[in-house]
Amino acid sequence: MPRDWSRPTRHHPLAPLGRSPHLVVMDGFNAGRTYRLASGTTSIGRDPRCDVALSHLTVSWHHASITVRGGRIVLSDLGSRNGTFVGLDRVVRRELEPGDLIRLGDQMTLQLVFLEAAPVS
C-alpha cells in the first residue's frame, strides 16, 4: 500500500533518510554558509539575534521564518518591506520542497537542501 504523505511523518517525504534540512546562502557576504533547520521555528533577518542573521540592506530586521514540523517545511514572510520569494513568486506562506530557491528582498538568495547529519563526537 502506498504511503499517505498527508499524515505527519518524522522526515520530509522527499528527503533521503539520514539527511536533515539546511539553508545554504547562495550569494552575498555569507555565500556558501549553511544553516541547519532544526524542528520548530527558525528566524531569518538582519537582527543579529535571528537564527539566520543576514546583513543585507534589502533584508528586513525580522524578515521571515521557516517552521519544520510534522514532515513539513513552511516558509512565512513576517511583513517584510521588500518581500519573500520562492522561485519568481512572491509569497506570504509557502510549503517548501527540496531545492527551492528563496529570495529575500532584491538579492539575497538561499536554497533548501538536505544534507547528511554531521557525526556526533
CB 19 within 8 A of CB 37: no
Maximum pairwise Cα distance, the chain: 50
* Closest-CA residue to 5 (of 95, 120, 87): 95
Q: What is the pLDDT of residue 120?
A: 55
Cell digits of residue 107:
538579492
Q: What is the pLDDT of residue 30?
A: 85
Q: What is the pLDDT of residue 63?
A: 98
Taking residues 94-104, report their average pLDDT: 96
Asked whether residue 10 carries a pLDDT value surpassing 50, the answer given is: no
**pTM of the complete model beyond 0.85:** no
* C-alpha to C-alpha distances, 119 to 14, 18, 24, 31, 90, nearest whole angstrom: 22, 11, 19, 24, 37
